[in-house]
Amino acid sequence: MHSVRHLIDIALKEDIGPGDITTESLIAPERSGIGTILAKEPLIIAGLDVAGQVFEQLDPNVVFKPAYQDGDAVGIGDVVAQVEGKLRALLMGERTALNFLQRLAGIATHVRSYVEALGHSKVRLVDTRKTTPGWRVLEKYAVRVGGAYNHRMGLYDGVLIKDNHVAVCGGVKKAIERIRKQMTHLLKIEVEVSELYQVKEALDAGADVIMLDNMDIHQIRAALALIGGKAAVEVSGGITQSSLKHLADTGVDIISAGALTHAARCMDLSMRIEAVN
């Protein structure tokens, strides 16, 4: 998995390449300045530490001063942060820092709207693996900032038997029985089902978590009655903000929504830079 510093390094190399020909031609190395990052629309801020690290990687002596904490609501025109240091570093890092902030704030803001739509429900809203390649650690962080939870981080930290696993193993029960022989007792086994007969198979095989994939409300209620509290119940597939409350009211334990990450838009922030010498 990529570390945050590695992602920053990739982003800076992508943008600057062998050198910023404009900045290096116009700005003497010794000149200093102040950059002010502004919100151009209401948002939930996320990624402040990442933005600070962008400038620090270009100028180790830079001073990054956030005016908020990740998770705070920011209004239009509000100063999000200020950064003081070499003008070259501020100008070279501006776009990269804003790109991180805009994407992560976009996810956090989007997720917060989903969380608010759930109201005081006890259901756990979680993300999926539908993330930007390489950015998963950051995007899942932004999900938490927005107030939701993470599902598994990748294929390595949780057992989830998907529809294709079921198909190639010859059924839900066979897949669960096969994996149970190989897994430690410390790991829970989750299986994805789309039909009620598969729910029965999952119960008979002792699944810990049953994911009801793309079922309608009537099917979900029937599945819950069949399960009867013998396993945790997750619903997934086609989850929208408007459907959240209806799904939560059925009594399911978990709602997973890929839209938390893949449907979030970037928020609008800008940076104003001034020279001090």
Q: Name the burial class of residue 77, with classes exposed (0-12), middle (13-18) and buried (19+) by CB atoms within 10 angstroms of its CB.
A: exposed
CB count within 10 Å of CB 173 equals: 20
What residue spans of 2-135 are helical by DSSP H? 4-16, 21-26, 48-58, 87-118
User: d(Cα 161, Cα 182) in Å, to the nearest integer?
Assistant: 14
User: d(Cα 163, Cα 67) in Å, to the nearest integer?
Assistant: 46
Active-site positions read 95, 130, 162, 192, 213
* Residue 252: C-alpha distances to residues 34, 65, 162, 229 (Å): 51, 43, 19, 10
